[in-house]
Homo-oligomer: A and B are copies of this chain.
């Protein structure tokens, strides 16, 4: 039992006790699944994206989760409004830069959110995360990387430049604040076969950030809890459909005891 596994268990218990409101401005693909994942964990999700209510809504929230998966210009404006207000209030902001690097609109929107709000944590795959560096960045772009270790060095440099925690998810998750690194070894191979598992992991990180002021720990313990739920779901799943449903059940059923025993987090 590692200290981080104990922290993970404590964070989950705090979420279930406090039921923090998590304000999501997210994409149309995962809206329902994200809300269900947060409810299963014990948090209180609210999805609100209208320009004329996001500032009021974020005032009640324990964390703001921004996900650019199905952007429009109007949604970007709402994200910036909500993000600026969250920054003023000191409310953690978690960004999921879905598809950054794939189209100019997405890369531009992600960078603008990073520039104009105080983002606490970014979660994505390696390609999305490394697309966030601007032209003058000293870190290397994803196309120029030759190995996982180069990507990790680049991510550490970028985390330092941006002043945020970066969480790169994959078979082993890599979480860094630019100085410290935590690796998370929970997860299941069916996760990428269900749409929105990455986005849902980001929302779970939001819930953990609402109760854990150490943002590196919040990101890593959130991913470990979510990954462990995936492992449980995978035990009896017959494919991605039953896996998705069992994942919601597992998020609800997992106990602090389970997390202490089975979360595999290592600080380097």
- List the number of copies, as a whole number: 3
Contact with B along A216-254 (1 / 0, CB 8 A): 000000000000000000000111111011111111110
Instruction: List chain B residues, Cβ under 8 A from A29.
Output: 31-32, 35, 47
Chain B residue nearest to A45 (CB atoms) is B195
Chain B residue nearest to A233 (CB atoms) is B241
Chain B residue nearest to A190 (CB atoms) is B252
Say if the beta carbon of A6 comes within 8 Å of chain B.
Answer: no
Say if the beta carbon of A83 comes within 8 Å of chain B.
Answer: no
* CB–CB A103/B248 < 8 A: no
Say if the beta carbon of A193 comes within 8 Å of chain B.
Answer: yes
A113 CB to nearest B CB, Å: 16
With A and B bound together, what is the CA distance between A69 and B35 in angstroms?
13
Contact with B along A27-59 (1 / 0, CB 8 A): 111111101100110000111111111001100
Binds B, one of A70-78, A88-96, A114-122, A136-144: A70-78
Asked if A36 meets B244 with Cβ closer than 8 Å, knowing A28-B28, A239-B252, the reply is: yes
Residues of A within 8 A of B (CB): 27-33, 35-36, 39-40, 45-53, 56-57, 60, 69-74, 99, 102-106, 192-196, 237-242, 244-253
> What are 10 inter-chain pairs, A to B, with CB distance below 8 A?
A28-B28, A30-B32, A39-B194, A52-B73, A53-B105, A239-B248, A239-B249, A240-B248, A241-B252, A242-B245
